[in-house]
């Protein structure tokens, strides 16, 4: 127990930093030449993005008949990707808003990059329903605006219309929260900039921030308010995404456990993605003293908890299928575990139930390579969770004559790879050109070990 108390008192960043060195370290990254690892990551990501652009252009020109969908399985890869990416975004808001409200000071080193990840993930997510429309140039029809077709408004009783509002609100609020948090750091970059161009760019981006405490005072209030708004927002977003399924009358989808199940799954997969990204970023950008093993460990603990909730949800679904006495429900769940898509189901169970259990061991939690590999397994598992939910419920219809199988076409696979390309390209550019660590917030927790620890 004594050991435990001592570990709580460890400084949040390592290497005896003072205010000046924090600025130097974080802003210094932006001046230095990128590491080889950064270039490798960037080139792979940009190639994947190029592939995605080609695939999306092709399917928009040809039509979504290029996909493997049929009359029975009308949703598959595309909506799987959509739900997967929305879920990824949730960890960022959880770290930046909910941990802020709980006064978890360790979040300061990782919140900036986690928020950036949220924005990039939501951008990836938003693309899929738009591509799915087949005629993406009509996407603005989803918004309620006075028009000459009646006016024929959108149907506000439809969960798909709720999605439009939820996702766009989420994107806007996350972007604003991220940018507002970054203004003081952009001013730090401005004040250290040596070239005229850089001075001008960051002078513009930092909105004339002067460090005035009267501004700080109001800024802190607003930051708290935004955190308070973002916390219920993030829960609402995946709740609404789950309504896309739960409000339908399809066995396997029509269940009241979906909202909490989806939100926990989103946080679970999001934290896995944060781990994947930050383990790359801390290495590529030499930030091991800021994003410490302690940070990684804390996140793996969140994964244990949310992984547990996800496991409970899987069990609950099966229990309710049996307990309901509804033949269709029972069939769907037996078919999930033993039908033609059983392989996908068991990948999902293997990755999502077993992987988090490794994190009970400190040796594994503190081994970065192991954490990296396990986080990728969770990413895979959570992608398959959405695939299983969507495809297994659809491919065995109420009428056996309508039963069908689904096989993704190469266009769909290329689009998925492309979305990863977009996500990682944006993230790689972000860690190169913007302050990846919240300089101001890290400075405020440096004093954590200050006066009270006897050291100034």
> Can you give the binding site for other proteins, defined by CB under 8 A?
18-20, 23, 144, 150-153, 155-157, 159, 161-162, 165-166, 169, 172-173, 176-177, 180, 183-184, 187-188, 190-192, 203-204, 206-222, 225-226, 229-230, 232-233, 236, 240, 243, 439-441, 443-444, 447, 450-451, 456
| Closer of 43 and 222 to other proteins (Cβ) | 222
Cβ 328 vs Cβ 322: under 8 Å: no
Q: How far is the CB of 401 from other proteins (least distance, A)?
A: 26
Q: Quick one: 209 or 377, whose CB is closer to other proteins? A: 209
CB of 85 to other proteins, least distance (A): 19
182 vs 441: CA distance, rounded Å: 10
Longest CA span, the chain:
77
By beta-carbon proximity to other proteins, the closer residue of 183 and 368 is 183
Min dist CB 218 to other proteins, Å, is: 5
Shortest Å, Cβ 55 to other proteins = 31
- Helix (H) or strand (E) segment spanning residue 51: helix 36-62
Q: What is the C-alpha separation between 389 and 245, in angstroms, rounded?
A: 9
Q: Which is nearer to other proteins, 228 or 350 (CB)?
A: 228
Q: What is the DSSP letter of 34?
A: P
Residues counted in the chain: 456
> Where are any strands of DSSP class E within 219-358?
none
For the CB of residue 115, give the shortest distance to other proteins in the complex, in Å: 14
Whose structure tokens read 């938003």? 126
Question: Who's near 158: CB < 8 A, 6+ residues apart?
Answer: none
Backbone angles phi, psi at 106, to 5 degrees: -65, -15
Identity of the residue, 291 or 439, whose beta carbon is nearer to other proteins in the bound complex: 439
Instruction: State how far the Cα of 46 lies from the Cα of 287, in Å rounded to an integer.
Output: 23
> CA Rg, the chain, in Å?
23
By C-beta, is 145 or 403 nearer to other proteins? Answer: 145
Q: Which C-beta is closer to other proteins: that of 273 or that of 446?
A: 446
CB of 197 to other proteins, least distance (A): 17
Other CB atoms within 10 A of residue 296 CB: 22
d(CA 426, CA 418): 12
The least distance separating other proteins from the CB of residue 450, rounded to whole angstroms, comes to 8
């Amino acid at each position: 127990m004594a050991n435990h108390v001592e570990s709580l008192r460890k400084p949040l960043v390592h290497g005896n930093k003072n205010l000046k060195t924090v600025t130097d370290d974080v802003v210094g990254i932006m001046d230095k030449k990128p590491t080889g690892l950064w270039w490798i990551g960037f080139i792979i990501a940009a190639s994947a993005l190029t592939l995605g652009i080609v695939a999306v252009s092709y399917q928009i020109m040809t039509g979504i008949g290029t996909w493997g969908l049929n009359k029975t399985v009308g949703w598959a890869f595309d909506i799987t990707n959509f739900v997967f990416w929305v879920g990824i975004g949730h960890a960022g808001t959880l770290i930046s808003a909910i941990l802020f409200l709980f006064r978890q000071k360790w979040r300061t080193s990782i919140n900036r990059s986690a928020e950036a990840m949220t924005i990039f993930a939501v951008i990836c997510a938003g693309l899929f329903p738009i591509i799915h429309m087949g005629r993406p140039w009509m996407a603005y029809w989803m918004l309620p605006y006075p028009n000459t077709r009646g006016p024929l408004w959108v149907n506000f009783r439809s969960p798909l219309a709720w999605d439009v509002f939820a996702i766009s609100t989420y994107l806007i609020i996350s972007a604003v929260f991220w940018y507002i948090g970054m203004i003081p750091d952009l001013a730090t970059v401005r004040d250290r900039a040596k070239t005229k161009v850089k001075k001008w760019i960051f002078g513009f981006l930092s909105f004339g921030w002067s460090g005035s405490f009267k501004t700080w005072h109001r800024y802190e209030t607003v930051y708290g308010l935004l955190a308070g708004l973002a916390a219920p927002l993030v829960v609402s977003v995946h709740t609404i995404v789950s309504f896309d399924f739960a409000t339908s009358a399809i066995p396997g989808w029509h269940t009241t456990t979906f909202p909490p199940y989806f939100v926990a799954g989103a946080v679970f997969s999001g934290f896995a993605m944060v781990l994947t990204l930050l383990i790359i970023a801390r290495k590529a950008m030499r930030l091991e003293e800021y994003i410490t093993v302690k940070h990684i460990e804390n996140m793996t603990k969140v994964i244990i908890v949310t992984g547990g909730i996800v496991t409970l949800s899987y069990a609950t679904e099966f229990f309710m299928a049996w307990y309901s006495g509804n033949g269709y429900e029972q069939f769907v769940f037996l078919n999930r575990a033993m039908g033609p898509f059983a392989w996908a189901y068991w990948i999902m169970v293997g990755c999502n139930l077993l992987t988090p259990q490794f994190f009970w061991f400190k040796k594994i939690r503190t081994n970065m390579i192991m954490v990296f590999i396990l986080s990728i397994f969770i990413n895979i598992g959570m992608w398959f969770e959405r695939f299983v939910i969507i495809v297994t419920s659809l491919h065995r219809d109420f009428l056996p004559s309508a039963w069908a199988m689904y096989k993704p076409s190469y266009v769909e696979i290329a689009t998925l790879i492309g979305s990863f390309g977009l996500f990682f390209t944006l993230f790689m550019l972000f860690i190169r050109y913007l302050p990846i660590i919240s300089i101001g917030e890290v400075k405020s927790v440096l004093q954590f070990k200050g006066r009270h620890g006897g050291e100034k």
